[in-house]
């Protein structure tokens, strides 16, 4: 019988099952019920120290496991199982640490079992729940849109990365070979792309590592698209804090609201954006600039027929003289004679004759010292303006009496202009600028002004003080205006041209002069004046919608409900511009007076309330011609 038993043992060992089968192994074992499993100590060796292997630990293939038996038993074999799969078998008790091939098993929850045997009998068995994770983190591709839109800030992406078992250790994001961001497992995964570097088609590569040191790689293609339309670059002191408020509205060509910003009163760049995903460089848009003075007076400038191709990226406003403090005073005129004109006007001051007095105001301080402490006063005989006298005085606000001896005839030039094709009497004003700075921000002194020049046979006379290096003139005859650098030409031919317009609903219908680059129209009501500037070839201009909450509600309703009067319309021809685009790029975009890049401007106008043209501000400056 002993020989037969030995033969059966050998036979069973030869036909034993594979260690990865679902059977225990080659020799049938008999479970013992007599020894407490706690005598088996399963330990994890880390950094030279040994600690009990904890329940639900993620077991790694690199973990060093040791087994200690706490009682002196006759042990012939130690078997190691994951679930029902035998993964290791040792004679007696292993004296060295060992690794468990967890890479052969699926991710998830498993059971690690250690069995100690004496011959074929299991003396004791101990099991511990473990987790196995052989797979790196996963990027949810649906968490990243194929097109990433941005405007005011850099493009922001919120990738969703998960690892259900071990948890995330780190995520590295690359564009090409460049590492652009890195997160650890505790971070919120917010990826900000520098759009100055990464706009257009890009491929994001994610290198993701979990706590079990598994690494995975995924890539996703994106298109980074800007919804930016235009920047408005403001200098310091562009407005007066607590006095002026300046708003900018972006609308589409149909007047629909897209975006708006309010200037902060400090140097800044305002960025305007669209939510129209199909907005192209040639899509027309409208910019509305609202200057609000003490919540009472509104000067509004609407630039239509703009495109990104015409405007470019940025409109840059230049510093402009803002009066910060103003004095009023009256100057007695003991010498004044009837039939004479006495007048004093310029940027920041204006005095008019009233009952033998010159009464008005004078600005005593300006932002950035852009104003002047002087005022020019002209005094001449309206029937013979060769009898012209002038004075250029400091601080007129401190003067209470003017004497004729204060005036001079030095440097007076008498001149004339021949008017052809019209019997209307000309209106002429001439301005002088103290220096280049004042010339560049239209900060001049009026050296001659006469609403009805004297003359005969269509030859009209005027005089002025030739004391400034730079001059500008504005002359009107009938419905025609001519303005430009220097002095009026000796002869002007008035063209026989007309414009027409009307306002209905939210649309201005305009018929301008063919070939004139720029069109203008004014709508007004109460303390609201709206100047529209548009392509001179346009026939319809839409009044943009004002969003609620930006300005006073009654003004918003007045504009949006169309409660505006059609006041005047103008066609403008510039000597050195050949298109509306030229005007926009040389005047609006650079914030330069038109005469810096085009020496002459001609206007044909219609005014529904007067035979004269109402002066128009040279936005963004405060002078008007």
Query: pLDDT value at position 30?
Result: 53
pLDDT in tens, 227-280: 999 999 999 999 988 889 999 999 999 999 999 999 998 999 999 999 898 899
Under the banding of pLDDT at 50, 70 and 90, the label for residue 349 is very high
Q: Residues 296-320: what's their mean pLDDT?
A: 96
Q: What angle do CA 189, 190, 192 make, to 5 degrees?
A: 145
Under the banding of pLDDT at 50, 70 and 90, the label for residue 34 is low
- Per-residue pLDDT for 21 more than 90? no
Q: What angle do CA 468, 472, 475 make, to 5 degrees?
A: 135
Average pLDDT score over the chain: 92
User: Can you say how many angstroms the Cα of residue 181 is from the centroid of all Cα atoms in its chain?
Assistant: 24
b/e sequence 478-517, b meaning 16+ C-beta within 10 Å: bbbbbbbbebbeeebebeeeebebebeebebbbebbeebb
b/e sequence 601-612, b meaning 16+ C-beta within 10 Å: bbbbbbeeeeee
- Per-residue pLDDT for 374 more than 90? yes
Domain covering 138-226: architecture: Sandwich (2.60)
- Per-residue pLDDT for 6 more than 60? no
What is the sign, positive or negative, of the torsion defined by CA atoms of 238, 591, 375, 613? negative
Domain limits, the chain: 2-132, 138-226, 227-317+505-592, 325-496
Q: Residues 599-613: what's their mean pLDDT?
A: 97
- Per-residue pLDDT for 523 more than 70? yes
- Per-residue pLDDT for 20 more than 50? no
Q: Quickly count: other Cβ atoms within 10 Å of residue 570's Cβ.
A: 28
- Per-residue pLDDT for 198 more than 90? yes
Query: Which of the two residues, 15 and 571, has the higher pLDDT score?
Result: 571
Query: Which of the two residues, 369 and 524, has the higher pLDDT score?
Result: 524
Homologous superfamily (CATH) for 2-132: Immunoglobulins (2.60.40.10)
337 CB-near residues (< 8 Å, 6+ apart): none
126 contacts 154 by C-beta, under 8 angstroms = no
381 CB-near residues (< 8 Å, 6+ apart): 339, 340, 341, 387, 388
For 264, the token pair is: 């902060």
State percent of the chain over pLDDT 70.
95
- Per-residue pLDDT for 369 more than 90? no
Query: pLDDT value at position 10?
Result: 34
Under the banding of pLDDT at 50, 70 and 90, the label for residue 493 is very high
63 contacts 99 by C-beta, under 8 angstroms = yes
Residues 487, 469: Cα–Cα separation, whole Å? 12
2-132 and 138-226 have identical folds: yes
Under the banding of pLDDT at 50, 70 and 90, the label for residue 19 is very low
Query: Which pTM value belongs to this model?
Result: 0.80
Query: pLDDT value at position 196?
Result: 86
User: Can you say how many angstroms the Cα of residue 553 is from the centroid of all Cα atoms in its chain?
Assistant: 26
Query: pLDDT value at position 112?
Result: 97
- Per-residue pLDDT for 545 more than 80? yes
Query: pLDDT value at position 171?
Result: 97
Per residue, what are the HEC states of 515-572?
Answer: CCCEEEEEEEECCEEEEEEEECCCCEEECCCCCCCCCCHHHHHHHHCCCCEEEEEEEE
Among 59-63, 202-206, 402-406, 547-551, name the one with the lowest average pLDDT.
Answer: 59-63
pLDDT in tens, 412-454: 999 999 999 999 999 999 999 999 999 999 999 999 999 999 9
Query: pLDDT value at position 277?
Result: 87
């Amino acid at each position: 019988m002993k020989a037969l038993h030995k033969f059966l043992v050998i036979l069973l060992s030869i036909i034993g099952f594979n260690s990865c089968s679902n059977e225990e192994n080659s020799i049938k074992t008999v479970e013992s019920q007599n020894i407490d499993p706690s005598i088996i100590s399963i330990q994890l060796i880390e950094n030279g120290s040994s600690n009990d292997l904890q329940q639900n630990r993620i077991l790694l293939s690199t973990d060093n496991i040791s087994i200690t038996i706490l009682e002196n038993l006759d042990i012939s074999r130690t078997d190691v199982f994951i679930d029902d799969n035998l993964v290791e078998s040792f004679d007696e008790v292993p004296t060295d640490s060992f690794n468990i091939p967890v890479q052969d098993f699926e991710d998830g929850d498993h059971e690690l079992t250690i069995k100690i045997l004496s011959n074929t009998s299991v003396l004791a068995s101990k099991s511990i729940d473990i987790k196995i994770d052989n797979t790196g983190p996963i990027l949810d591709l649906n968490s990243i849109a194929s097109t990433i839109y941005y405007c005011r800030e850099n493009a922001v992406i919120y990738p969703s990365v998960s690892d259900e078992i071990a948890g995330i250790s780190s995520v590295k994001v690359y564009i090409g070979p460049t590492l652009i961001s890195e997160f650890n497992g505790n971070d919120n995964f917010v990826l900000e792309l520098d759009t100055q570097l990464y706009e257009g088609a890009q491929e994001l590569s994610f290198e993701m590592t979990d706590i079990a040191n598994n690494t995975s790689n995924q890539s996703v293609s994106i298109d980074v698209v800007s919804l930016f339309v235009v920047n408005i670059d403001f200098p310091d002191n562009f407005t007066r804090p607590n006095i002026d408020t300046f708003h900018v509205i972006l609308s589409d060509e149909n007047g629909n609201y897209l975006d708006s910003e309010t200037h902060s009163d400090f140097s800044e760049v305002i960025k305007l954006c669209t939510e129209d995903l199909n907005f192209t460089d040639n899509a027309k848009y409208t910019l509305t600039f609202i200057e609000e003075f003490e919540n009472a007076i509104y000067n509004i400038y609407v630039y239509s027929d703009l495109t990104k191709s015409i405007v470019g990226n940025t409109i840059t406003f230049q510093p402009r003289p803002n009066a910060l403090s103003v004095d009023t005073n009256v100057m007695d005129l003991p010498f004044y004679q009837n039939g004479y004109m006495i007048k004093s006007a310029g940027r920041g001051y204006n005095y008019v004759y009233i009952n033998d007095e010159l009464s008005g105001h004078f600005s005593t301080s300006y932002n950035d010292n852009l104003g002047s402490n002087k005022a020019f006063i002209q005094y001449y005989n309206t029937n013979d303006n060769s009898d012209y006298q002038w004075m250029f005085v400091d601080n007129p606000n401190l003067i209470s009496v003017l004497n004729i001896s204060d005036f001079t005839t030095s440097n007076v030039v008498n001149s004339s202009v021949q008017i052809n094709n019209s019997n209307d009497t000309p209106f002429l004003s001439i301005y002088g600028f103290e220096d280049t700075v004042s010339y560049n921000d239209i900060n001049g002194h009026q050296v001659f002004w006469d609403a009805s020049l004297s003359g005969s046979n269509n030859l009209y006379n005027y005089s002025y003080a030739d004391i400034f290096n730079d001059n500008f003139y504005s002359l009107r005859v009938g419905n025609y205006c001519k303005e430009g650098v220097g002095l009026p030409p000796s002869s002007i031919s008035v063209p026989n041209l007309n414009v027409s317009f009307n306002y209905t609903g939210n649309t201005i219908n305009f018929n301008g002069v063919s070939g004139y680059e720029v069109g203008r129209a004014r709508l007004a009501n109460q303390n609201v004046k709206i100047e529209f500037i548009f392509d001179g070839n346009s026939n319809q201009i839409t009044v943009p919608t004002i969003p609620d909450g930006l300005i006073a509600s009654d003004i918003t309703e007045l504009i949006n409900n169309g409660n505006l009067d059609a006041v005047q319309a103008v066609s403008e021809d510039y000597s050195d511009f050949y298109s509306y685009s030229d005007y926009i790029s040389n005047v609006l975009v650079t914030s330069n007076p038109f005469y810096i890049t085009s020496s002459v401007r001609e206007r044909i106008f219609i005014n529904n309330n007067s035979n004269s043209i109402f002066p128009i501000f040279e936005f963004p400056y405060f002078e008007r011609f």
